[in-house]
Structure 1
Amino acid sequence: MKAISLSKESILGLIALGLFVLMSLFIPGFFGHNNLNNMMFQLPEFGLLALAMMIVIVTGGIDLSITYIAALSGVTIALMQTQGYPMIPAIIVGIIVGLMCGLLNGVIVSKIGVSPILVTLGTMVLFEGIILSITKGSSISGFSESYSLIGNGYYMGVVPLSIIIFIFFAILTGVLLTRTKWGRSVYMIGSNPVASLFSGVNNSRVLLKVYLFAAMLAAIASIIMTSRYNSAKVDLGSSYLLQSVSAAVLGGTEIQGGYGKVVGTIYAVVIFQMLSSGLNLMGVPRSIVNVMMGLILIFVLVLNFVKHKIDEKSQKTAIA
């Protein structure tokens, strides 16, 4: 009898389903309309930032500035709208600002060769300083009603518009990673940058596009967040920084690079969203929820490290 082999993404999907069933049965109000509605509105912004982080981690890097790129894009959009500019030009300029931030990260990482963690740590402080100098630490609010519909509106009165935006960009990310030459090059660089270079891959150009794409996803997330909250400030989405790393890693993305799937990251985002919502309904303080998220990240990292060492040992044994 042939054994059934499940991928780690499939296992994660089953865990997400099991968690949903358990919480629906044992946590009062979890399966209620209000709670499910709240989760559907919160998931897109987190999901987009997690996908942005995932694609960078696949290359063996990390982007610590991702939430501040989102915040700077959001502040730009807010400033333009409050100064009387129409919604569409404001959104376009906000996305361009996000892309410029991604370009800065990408150029320093890909062209100069500085470590991604050092580059994005520096640009994180830079972007934060720029936002603070613009906002003086306060929030900017007062957007048009049409803009607020992006984060709070429904399509045909049923599905949140933000969920549709998230699904579109999730599919786009998956297609780019699995169906294009650029996507295959991203995985090659993460697995072995030297080998990819000798295979004719322009590592520098591929990495530059990775940081640009991540910044674009962050800018789209900022549009959803600012329209949903009706405000923009320096810490917009800052709580998602470590959560996005956690979601990417929990979703199966190798922290050393070379492997990662969109569907795994989405399952992880759903799991984190359900845990956060369920614990909040149980009255668990937010600080304790953050502690639990941190413990989950540490556990998954240790588990992946041990698994990697076991795989290496088994490969050596097989060769011997």
Structure 2
Amino acid sequence: MKQVTLSKENILGLIAIGLFVLMSISVPGFLSSNNLTNMMFQLPEFGLFALAMMVVIVTGGIDLSITYTAALAGVAIAILSSNGYPMIIAILGGIAVGLLCGLMNGFIIAKIGVSPILVTLGTMVLFEGLILSITKGNSISGFSPEYTLIGNGYYLGLIPLSIIIFLFVAILTSVLLNKTVWGRSVYMVGSNPVASLFSGVNNSKVLMKVYLYSALLATIASIIMTSRYNTVKVDLGSSYLLQSVAAAVLGGTEIQGGYGKVIGTLYAVMIFQMISSGLNLMGVPRPIVTVIMGVILIAVLIINFIKVKADENKQKKLAETA
């Protein structure tokens, strides 16, 4: 009889379903239309940051600047909009600024060879300083009504437009990673950059595109957030920085690179969103919710580390007995 095995993504999907049932039964108001609507509006912005982080982590890197990339792109949109430019020009300007941020990260990491954590930590501080210099620490608000529809509008009066945008980006990301030469190269670079180089892969070109794509996703998240809140400020989406790392890792992305799937990240985002929403409904203070998210991240990292070591020991024993 053939043994049935579940992938870690499938297991995570079952956990997400179980958690939804548990929250529905045990948390009053979890299934209310107001709470479900709030979760549907919050999930796209969180999910986009998580996907942006996942793509980078697959290469063995990390991007600590994604939330400030988003904030700087949002500031660019606000400034262009407030100076009378058409909304489409303002959005394109914001995307250009976001891509410039990604280009800076990618160039220093891929071409110069500086560690991703050091580069993105530096650019995080740089982007934050630029935003503070432009805004003087204040928020910028007053977007056009058409723009606010992106984050607050519905399709057919039922489905938030932001959810549709997020699902489109998630499908696109999955196709790019699994069905294109670039996507296969991303996994190769993350698994073994030396081997991929000798296989004819242009590692630096692959990494440049990864950080550009990560910045693009962060910018799309910025568009959704600024249109939803009708304001932009220096800490726009800053709470999602560590949560995006946690979601990517919980979703099965190997922190050392080489493996990661969009569907796993989506399940992890749903789990975090349900936990956050459920704890808020139970009256748990927001700082405690953040602590719980941190504990989950640390626990997942420890479990993954133990699993990797166990697999390495198993391979050694097999090699010795061969």
Question: Match of 1:85?
Answer: 85
Distance in 2 (CA, whole Å) between partners of 1:18 and 1:3 is 23
2:209 is the counterpart of 1:205:
no
Question: Match of 1:231?
Answer: 231
Question: Match of 2:30?
Answer: 30
2:181 is the counterpart of 1:181:
yes
RMSD between aligned residues: 0.5
| Aligned amino acid, residue 38 of structure 2 | N
Question: Match of 2:264?
Answer: 264
TM-score, normalised by the number of residues in structure 2 = 0.99
Identity of aligned residues (%): 77
Structure 1 segments of 4 or more deviating over 2 A? none
Question: Match of 1:293?
Answer: 293
1:105-116 equivalent positions in 2, closer than 5 A: 105-116=105-116
Question: Match of 2:99?
Answer: 99
Distance in 1 (CA, whole Å) between partners of 2:62 and 2:181 is 22
The 3-state SS of whatever aligns with 1:127 is helix
Question: Match of 1:284?
Answer: 284
1:298-309 equivalent positions in 2, closer than 5 A: 298-309=298-309
Distance in 2 (CA, whole Å) between partners of 1:82 and 1:151 is 19
Question: Match of 1:51?
Answer: 51
TM-score, normalised by the number of residues in structure 1 = 1.00
The unaligned stretches of length 5 or more in structure 1 are none
| Aligned amino acid, residue 85 of structure 1 | Y
2:216 is the counterpart of 1:216:
yes
The unaligned stretches of length 5 or more in structure 2 are none
Question: Match of 2:319?
Answer: 319
Write the deviation string for residues 87-137 of structure 1: whole angstroms up to 9, x where unpaired.
110000000000000000000000000000000000000000000000000
1:80 deviation in Å? 1.2
| Aligned amino acid, residue 19 of structure 1 | L
The 3-state SS of whatever aligns with 1:102 is helix
Question: Match of 1:158?
Answer: 158
| Aligned amino acid, residue 310 of structure 2 | I
Distance in 2 (CA, whole Å) between partners of 1:247 and 1:101 is 23
| Aligned amino acid, residue 121 of structure 1 | L
1:3 deviation in Å? 2.1
Distance in 2 (CA, whole Å) between partners of 1:231 and 1:314 is 53
Question: Match of 2:240?
Answer: 240
Distance in 1 (CA, whole Å) between partners of 2:304 and 2:38 is 32
